[in-house]
Amino acid sequence: MPSDLSDPPDTNPLSARSPAATPRRDEGQRDEGLFDRPDSPCIGICSTLFDEICQGCGRTAMEVSNWVFMDDAEKQAVWERITREGTARRFRPE
């Protein structure tokens, strides 16, 4: 009696083998640089214990503490604001 020992077809639409598991982008679409920079703006000079805005990265204490819970759009908005402001040590020439 022959038996089929091959893997059963994957029916989970989010499995690694499924094309649905990979987000698709239109040709030419870009993620506005979010993935071209470090995940966190932190440079290891945190002053949020004493300041409303961190002197190292330019984020508020709330943004620093909630960074790991933010989605990509929220992180992008923070990156854009701190880059536009340019007051943090992160943006000063050495």
Predicted pLDDT at 44: 92
CA distance 91 to 82: 9
- Count CA atoms within 13 Å of residue 20 on its CB side: 6
Binning pLDDT at 50, 70 and 90, where does residue 68 land?
Answer: very high
Q: What is the pTM of this model?
A: 0.61
pLDDT at residue 1 tops 60: no
Question: Within its chain, how far is the Cα of 17 from the centroid?
Answer: 24
